[in-house]
Structure 1
């Protein structure tokens, strides 16, 4: 299965959500992970007549190798370590407690900067006792999405529904245990990168995110 683009993936997810829940959702809020997740979230918000809120988890890269994610952090300071980073690997890569604390503070500042840019000072949507639908354009390792889930739990939503177009088959049961429900359109056995399941997968711009949030964030 290959999606035409993020918009089509969002439309298909919206249809899947409607089929499963019909009209039983209680005050749904779509929580998107920027940037690509916001484009997927737009048609879902439109069809469900729901607002979009943002959650912006950030990866913490290893020293001298930013691409290798050793942890993920959220705006409220929740840090989720990569379980594959053992004490031995941490020692070999030079990952110290001080390094993680310093990078955590840096990434929290970056999250705040992005949130201000995307939301233009708008007030946060209250998720308490609301059906919260967490959306991204796909899951590969899942580290940042897991951090986002843990952060959302602290806001006491009625339930967290994770809705993604694609994720590896071997991650499905793991994520089913982390959320109240999981909606995934395609979970292939062979998975290299999220982009391989889209015909068009350009990098989403800040301007696109701002434009969508102006329409769907109250």
Structure 2
């Protein structure tokens, strides 16, 4: 039930490093930032641990007319995770889900090209992957990322986030090898409540941090 206020995403990334010390200076560790907001967090983790950083794309599938409300998510590699509870409760048809997924897939591909600038994705086979984001609310985006990364054959998957509901952290512990949450506010209202500066991360910032980390 800890509350903590971070200055910005990079400050939040630095706050996670102390809990990730066992992964410092190891040649089998890759830090993966969920674009866009997770990239500044991942950059600081990777820099401190002496590990390479890569960028991973996840797009929320928003309910039509309520785009902030996730009915699922898609991730790099064509992986989709659907929130069955939301879909059944709101009576959302498969056609509507497909239409939203198609639109978000196009945006995901656009960002892949914009951020990578032709660089291939890191090889995760047999590696320990630290999945970093700026926070978790429903967990839909992180679950899509976990599912997609698992398909690439890592030996271990670690989730590292500055802020999330305690219940979500506990649920994710059943899906990965370790979960590190710097703060678990209760009650939890929104990820942005844990930040002084929660301005949207831009494409340019993601690209610049990725270049600096390579």
TM-score (ref. length: structure 1) = 0.90
Counterpart mapping for 1:156-175 below 5 A: 156-175=153-172
Deviation at 1:201, TM superposition (A): 1.5
For residues 89-124 of structure 1, the C-alpha deviation after alignment (integer angstroms, 9 at most, x for no partner) is 21xxxx221222232222222111101101111111
Number of positions where the alignment pairs a residue of Structure 1 with one of Structure 2: 211
Root-mean-square deviation (Å) = 1.6
Q: Which runs of 5+ in 1 are unaligned?
A: none
User: Distance in 1 between the 2:40 and 2:76 partners?
Assistant: 21
Query: Which residue does the alignment assign to 2:14?
Result: 11
User: Distance in 2 between the 1:199 and 1:33 partners?
Assistant: 20
Q: 1:122 to 1:199 in 2, by over 3 A?
A: same
Contact 1:25–1:131 (CA under 8 A) maintained in structure 2: no
Counterpart mapping for 1:36-185 below 5 A: 36-90=37-91, 95-185=92-182
For residues 118-165 of structure 1, the C-alpha deviation after alignment (integer angstroms, 9 at most, x for no partner) is 111111110001110000011111111111101100001110010111
Contact 1:30–1:53 (CA under 8 A) maintained in structure 2: yes
Q: Which runs of 5+ in 2 are unaligned?
A: none
Larger relative strand fraction = 2
